[in-house]
Chains A and B, each alone.
Chain A
Amino acid sequence: MSLYSTLLGFFSFLGYPLSNAAAYLFESIFLLLAASLSLVFMIYLFRKYMARVQLRIGPNRVGKFGLLQLIADVFKLVQKESLFPKNRDDLPYRIAPVMVIIGLMLAFAVIPYGSFFYFGSLTVSDTGVSVILLFAILSIMPIGEVLAGISSRNKYALLGALRAVAKDISFEIPMMISVLAIIMMASARTSAPLSIDSIVVTEVLPYGILQPIGISVFLVAMIARASYSPFDMGESDSELITGFSTEYSGMRFGMFYAGLFGSILLGSFVVSLFYLGGFNGPFSGDLGAVWLGIKALILVIISFTVWLSMPRIRIDKFVNFGWKYLLPLAMINLVISGALTLMTGW
């Protein structure tokens, strides 16, 4: 029972091919709405959380508790003039922010959300190779950022893009290797170890407990992926203005801004799925999605605290850290989990 089949049943009066199309359409709309709403909520949460941690109040003039603040921001960004730099590389400049936002939305489609009462499983797309698909989609966003930096012909943006590239290549390999360890462990129990859903469903203990090294490597990689402090070298407010997005204005900038927060949310979902048991928990048949949400929310709050309290790490130190510490740690993790699987058969 999934959201798709629920919708299919709902639209069954239209006849087969039409009902199928309608179900897909509405599912996509549902996903887009939910993703954008959660993004808006994320940004609101971040602002409120930041304000409270900094002994302030945060937005409270627009709507009750400032809940409509983000709507106002969107209204403003929409009517802002979108400037184009004179020497830009036109096509990449235009598609870069779109790539970021599309990559983000696609990634949300691959994640299994668990089930929720009447609707059943909220997962949108359940393929047998969702792990590969997810990480393929995740690597679209950095391309968008790099394109943005190079195509705007701005020295600050270029430097930001260069930093982003250097950062991306130094954390992606450890991230993949630590996921590999999970797939390896999962393959002992499930016939479809490349499907996130089956990895989560068949786990005995959350992998975070089995692989303490793995979770730390993956967490660092996810922070770097979302590129907030301490790993916001690509944007680095105080050094490179705003890095690769320096030349962007209006809604195009809004897309980058949403992309940043989307990455945090996405990262929290992925970490809680892989390492913290995802939608597993008491009554997961009905409350699976709620469990996932709670776990992700806690991770989001932790990310915000890291963001607000950490200084920016230097780019060469991060590259060093990625290749000299993260990569060997991920390898060690792989070996240990292999040995663990062999010995215990988990």
Chain B
Amino acid sequence: MQDFIEINFGPQHPSTHGVLRLKAKLDGEIVKEIEPVIGYLHRNAEKLCEMTFYADNLVYFDRMDYVASMLMESGYLEAAEKILNIVPPERVLWIRVIMNELSRIASHLVWAGAFGLDLGMLTPFFYCFAERDKVLEVFTEICGSRQETNYMSIGGVYQDITPGIVDHIEAFLESFPKRLEEIYKIFVGNDVFISRNKGIGVMSREVAIDYGVTGPMLRASGVNYDVRKAEPYLVYDKLNFEVPVSYKGDNLARFLVRFEEMRQSVHILKQAIRKIPDGPFFNPKAKKSMMIRLRGDGEYYARTESSKGEFGVYIVADGGVKPYRVHVRSPTFKNLSVVQELAKDQMIADMVAILGSVDLVFGEVDR
């Protein structure tokens, strides 16, 4: 008869990236069983969305995946604009692509820094955040807010992108790849880092699909599936980029896929910033005084590729000024559910690394 140590990780624990509680049964150092308990950040966003105007709902979507709020906004607007029958002008689509990719870079940088902290590397965190701050400077310049941007509006964006901002983004794109490679080398140039991640938390392709895992985690398990390619939205079909895939399925593969994604994002940005057409930056049908009068009908499910995976927004409208039902398919919610499979019979240290590699953001898991 074996005795297990029962231990509660969290809800406030440095490795859980927020408010996750893990009920773990330990046999010495080995995790025999874990049960994630979520809901510590359940902020009833879906209920509140039913009580708020279409235009104002962006406030709640901003705060879902709070490290990549632009991606959330464009994901919501993909659905909301179809519900409201408003088509944004061409220029807006390009601006949104630029913002999406900048946001993706910021999100992955936060992840990389936090992943380093999980493994005990203190320094890369600061380099990642210094780079992220440069992205946020662009956001501040373009819309006036660092993190919860509330930049995109129905049928357009709130403020136009100016030549000065384009220069700023170009300067960032000039300096960023070099810094990215440096950060990359700090990680992979380290023997211990490789040994902590190679072959740890291996997720097979079948398990990944069965659990509904998407995004970089799925691609690291060898599935070439990216919503930007599979069902192009905005203007992703006019841009030239590659989807990074790895067949290893371990922590290291997820790390490499995310870094490659950042490089691809830079590649996309470089194209988009040159191709951005002239024109209005919002649809006059959705002008500002109409914000509280827009009515929608039908139901629509839009999926977009957020930095964590497939982000879906399902809106049911009943002809009123407020949505009837909003449901969010949050990628992290599903990616987290696979952790109890991956972390079984692993060491505590590996469990922490696996949790880190999932890229958890609780605003999105609990909503």
Contacts and interface: CB of A to CB of B under 8 A. Distances in A.
Classify A-B as touching or not with yes or no (CB < 8 A): yes
Interface of A: 50, 53-56, 155-156, 159, 162-163, 229-230, 232-233, 236-241, 307-317
A115 to B, nearest CB: 38
B193 A314 contact: no
Given A155-B5, A238-B15, A312 B119 contact: yes
Interface in B9-52: 13-15, 26, 28-29
6 shortest interchain CB distances as A-B pairs:
A312-B120, A311-B119, A54-B126, A311-B121, A308-B123, A238-B15
Given A230-B192, A237-B14, A310-B120, A315 B347 contact: yes
B28 A241 contact: no
Given A162-B28, A237-B14, A237-B120, A55 B126 contact: yes
Contact of B7 (A155, A163, A309): A155
How large, as a class, is the contact surface on chain B? 20 to 34
Contacts of B234: none
B158 interface: no
A313 to B, nearest CB: 5
A265 B29 CA distance: 31
B196 A238 contact: no
Given A237-B14, A241-B13, A315-B29, A229 B120 contact: yes
B350 A314 contact: yes
Contacts of B28: 162
B352 A238 contact: yes
Contacts of A229: 120-122
B196 A311 contact: yes
A71 to B, nearest CB: 25
Given A55-B130, A311-B116, A311-B120, A239 B190 contact: no
B192 A50 contact: no
Contacts, number: 85
B123 A232 contact: no
Given A155-B5, A239-B348, A317-B195, A230 B13 contact: no
B120 A314 contact: no
Contact of A316 (B120, B186, B347): B347
A5 to B, nearest CB: 46
B202 interface: no
A238 B10 CA distance: 11
**SS of B interface (majority):** helix
Nearest to B124: A309
Contact of A308 (B122, B130, B350): B122
A279 B330 CA distance: 63
A156 B186 CA distance: 30
Task: With a 10 A CB-CB cut-off, give which of A159, A229, A309 has the most chain B CB atoms.
Answer: A309
Contacts of A316: 29, 347
A167 B116 CA distance: 23
A310 B194 CA distance: 11
B347 A309 contact: no
Interface string B65-102: 00000000000000000000000000000000000000
A213 B28 CA distance: 34
Given A159-B348, A238-B119, A311-B116, 15 more contacts: A54-B122, A159-B7, A229-B122, A230-B120, A230-B192, A232-B120, A238-B15, A238-B118, A239-B15, A239-B352, A241-B13, A308-B123, A311-B190, A316-B29, A317-B195
B347 A310 contact: no
A53 B349 contact: no
Task: With a 10 A CB-CB cut-off, give which of B28, B119, B349 has the most chain A CB atoms.
Answer: B349
B127 interface: yes
Task: With a 10 A CB-CB cut-off, give which of A239, A241, A310, A311 has the most chain B CB atoms.
Answer: A311
B339 interface: no
B117 interface: yes
B108 to A, nearest CB: 19
A162 B196 CA distance: 20
Contact of B121 (A156, A162, A239, A310): A310
A53 B123 contact: yes
B192 A238 contact: no
Task: With a 10 A CB-CB cut-off, give which of B13, B26, B192 has the most chain A CB atoms.
Answer: B192
Interface string B331-358: 0000000000000000111101000000
27 contacts: A50-B122, A53-B123, A54-B123, A54-B127, A55-B126, A155-B5, A159-B29, A162-B28, A162-B29, A229-B120, A229-B121, A229-B122, A236-B349, A237-B117, A238-B119, A239-B348, A239-B349, A239-B352, A240-B348, A308-B122, A310-B120, A311-B193, A312-B120, A313-B192, A314-B196, A315-B29, A316-B29
A56 B126 contact: yes
Contacts of B118: 238
A314 B349 CA distance: 6
Nearest to A55: B130
Contacts of A236: 120, 349
Contacts of B350: 314
Nearest to B351: A239
Contacts of A155: 5, 7
B33 to A, nearest CB: 16
Contacts of B190: 309-311
A241 B348 CA distance: 13
B109 to A, nearest CB: 14
Nearest to B348: A239
B122 A238 contact: no
A56 B125 CA distance: 12
Contacts of B116: 311
Given A50-B122, A56-B126, A314 B347 contact: yes
Contacts of A163: 29
A229 B123 CA distance: 12
B117 A238 contact: yes
Contacts of B123: 53-54, 308-309
A313 B122 contact: no
